[in-house]
Amino acid sequence: MAEDIAISVNDVSKMYKLYDNPMDRLKESLGLSRKKKYKEHYALNHVSFQVHKGETVGIIGTNGSGKSTILKIITGVLSPTGGEVSVNGRISALLELGAGFNGEYSGLENVYLNGSMIGFSREEIDAKLQSILDFADIGEFIHQPVKTYSSGMFVRLAFAVAINIDPEILIVDEALSVGDVFFQAKCYRKFEEFKEMGKTILFVSHDLSSIGKYCDRVVLLNKGEKLAEGGAKEMVNLYRRVLVNQYDDADLEEGAENAEAGQDGQLTDGTAGENVSKKEHAGGGRAMKDSLNLNPKVLEYGSKLGEIVDFAIRDDTGMITNVIEKGKEFSVQMKVRFQADVNDPIFAFTLKDLKGTEITGTNTMYEHTPVKPQKAGDVREITFKQIMPLEAGEYMLCLGCTGYKDGDFTVFHRLYDVCNLTVITDKKAVGYFDMFSKVSVK
């Protein structure tokens, strides 16, 4: 392996045997069955990539794509079925926080236990101990058994041990957003310090804004296979299409070419990857909503005298997607079919956080948009176009059609939490909204 390579993953596969029942497993283990009693499931299938020293590489993909599996193979937690992994440098991994902690030991004893498992001597841990204790900031609880800790205290200590050991290679799996907001800020500062020090970082996350902000290069996995790798913007755009099964080989080749043309790793307005993102889902006669990641347990009710028969979220390029970049224009569309004559219908959408709090929304009445009386059989397509001001995160879209029937206010159709909307950004703000402030210092 070349000196400038920190991690080399070469043609790695991981296959699991899936049995229909435990008896089949037992028969095979005892050699009592000549027939194959299992199905082969490949969590990883011939995956290859390299991470150079000093590089920050992100791995993204849907659930079950093999992200955590490849990290466990790199760190030695799992053995590959085929292929090989080479690592050049001492690793600290934040995979399952607290793995290896003994509940009966005190926090302090677990610091030494965890450090020795990583490969550090007692003297080396002594030198880092104060930094670990300051970072965890759990006070006298450091002398109490870990089994008495709250979940927040537990992850603070585990994170403090992993990130203050001063590794040459840091591997992070969905572990930066732990504890309260102040501790999260401390974690991100430490992460940025690692980048500034030229450490090698391999980073798995569903937080696409963090991927865009921190990663020099991104590897996209899907169903155990590597689809592509390249700059963050190109891979996030391609990931959007993977989420709704709207990609093909041409997209992968195009994404790879754009990645080679420029790998700035930021979610900027560069032209790289533009063609991928500007391909609008024609759908071939399909409903618009079929290109979205829908909630299978959507709550709907209403008389359906006016029924929401289709809907979409579109980004600034016109592509139907669940992922919108902060600060960019996007639109919410809905198609409504009327089953009866209706006067003064009102069309609305709302965005809620995952706790159910309504963050923002509007309707045609608030926007003073005139809507004519509708006849039975009429179909109307309504488009709300706006700039995305929300901070990076996960939100839920709700749609509604209400109005007046025979003088009474009536709910015709409401769809609560019909699909998710993910906001990504490389510019952080505090709270839910970005006010896009312009700052001057004299």
Which tens digits make up the pLDDT trace of 358-399?
Answer: 999 999 999 999 999 999 999 999 999 999 999 988 899 999
Residues in the chain, overall count: 442
More confident residue, 293 or 275: 293
Q: Is the pLDDT score of 135 beyond 70? A: yes
At residue 257, the pLDDT reads 52
Query: What would the mean pLDDT of 123-129 be, rounded to a whole number?
Result: 90
Closest CA to 276 of 253, 260, 292, 293: 253
Gap between the Cα atoms of 231 and 205, Å rounded: 16
Phi/psi class of residue 221: alpha, beta or left (left: φ > 0; alpha: ψ in -120 to 50)? beta
Cα gap 410→374, rounded to integer Å:
14
Percent with pLDDT over 70 in the chain: 87
Task: Please compute the mean of the pLDDT values over residues 25-46 and round it to a whole number.
Answer: 82
Measure CA 245 to chain center.
16
pLDDT over 60 (residue 251): no
Reported as a pLDDT band with limits 50, 70 and 90, residue 267 is: very low
Instruction: Return d(Cα 194, Cα 202) in angstroms, integer.
Output: 12
pLDDT in tens, 383-441: 999 999 999 888 999 999 999 888 888 999 999 999 999 888 877 788 889 898 999 99
Residue 333: which H helix or E strand, with range? Answer: strand 329-338
Statement: residue 272 has pLDDT above 50 = no
Average pLDDT, stretch 342-353?
A: 93
278 pLDDT above the threshold of 60: no
Query: What pLDDT digit, counting tens, does each position of 318-336 carry?
Result: 999 998 989 999 999 999 9
pLDDT on residue 30:
76
Q: CB of 397 within 8 A of CB of 313? A: yes
Question: Taking residues 309-314, what's their average pLDDT?
Answer: 97
CB atoms within 10 A of CB 433: 13
Contacts of 110 (CB under 8 A, 6+ apart): 101, 102, 146, 157, 161
pLDDT at res. 66: 92
Average pLDDT, the chain: 83
The model's pTM: 0.65
Residues 332, 397: contact at Cβ < 8 Å? Answer: yes
E strands in 315-374 = 323-325, 329-338, 343-353, 358-363
Read off the pLDDT of residues 145-187 as tens digits, 9 standing for 90 and up.
Answer: 999 988 778 878 888 887 787 788 988 886 655 566 667 777 7
Please identify which residue in the block is written with the tokens 């899907």: 222
